Amino acid sequence: EVQLVESGGGLVQPGESLRLSCAASGFMFSSFWMSWVRQAPGKGPEWVANIKEDGSEEYYVDSVKGRFTIFRDNANNLLYLQMNSLRVDDTAMYYCARDPNTVPYYWGQGTLVTVAS
Amino acid sequence: DVVMTQSPLSLPVTLGQPASISCRSSQSLVYSDGNTYLNWFQQRPGQSPRRLIYKVSKRDSGVPDRFSGTGSGTDFTLKISRVEAEDVGVYYCMESIHWPTFGQGTKVEIK
């Protein structure tokens, strides 16, 4: 059974950092692009970052460039999102997801990040 | 940047009746491989989004055949042939040829 299990969310103050993790199982993790997607309360999803199978390429939505870093550990089937200089508008549920152009498609249950003073 | 525009944003439907959601992209979603990368997602209340349709019209495993996707180029439609109670939620179109971008969402509710 394929699983994507996110962790690491929590309540932080503006300017602080968090590292999210996603543990993948049930598929060949190192063979797929992986992504982080977020959804602010009451809003639609927003793609945050993508990383290539071997970690050699990364892409980010403009609003997080220079603050967030996506990286992966293929030996342990883990995906990460390092989030620095967090802002109130980064508050969202953060989901780990596989390349959207794959079949079947997998998306985790999410970890909640709340940025508030 | 590609903009995905859905209509309507709210869709009250009667159980057993059909429903239709439109999605328009600001750029063509046809890739050089000949495929069109338009997806439809369902998000039930309190749940994560779930993909229903990929490449315009292909249903993901386990998706009931009352869901169908049509369209080409920049104009796409998701149809539910007979709405059931479990179909309540928000539906999003999403393009995955450029930077993955979602539409605003269409809230489907039972009248």
The per-residue DSSP string of A70-90 comes to EEEETTTTEEEEEE-S--GGG
pLDDT band, residue A64 (cuts 50/70/90) = very high
* Sign of the alpha-carbon torsion through B95, B99, B100, B106: negative
Q: How far apart are CA B74 and CA B25, in angstroms?
A: 5
Helices (H) and strands (E) in chain B, counts: 0, 11
| Residues in chain B within 8 Å Cβ distance of A100 | 39, 51, 54, 94, 96, 100
Query: What pLDDT does A63 receive?
Result: 97
Closest CA to A34 of A16, A10, A20, A52: A52
pLDDT averaged over chain A? 96
Query: What pLDDT does A104 receive?
Result: 85
* Sign of the alpha-carbon torsion through A50, A23, A69, A116: positive
Over the stretch A38-60, which tens digit does the pLDDT of each residue have? 999 999 999 999 999 999 999 99
Per cent of chain B over pLDDT 90 is: 98
Note whether B21 contacts A: Cβ–Cβ < 8 A. no
Over the stretch B40-92, which tens digit does the pLDDT of each residue have? 999 999 999 999 999 999 999 999 999 999 999 999 999 999 999 999 999 99
Min Cα separation B82/chain A (Å): 25
Chain A, residues 19-78, CB within 8 A of chain B, namely 35, 37, 39, 44-47, 59, 61
Chain B interface, best mutation among A1, A3, A43, A105, by max B CB count within 10 A:
A105
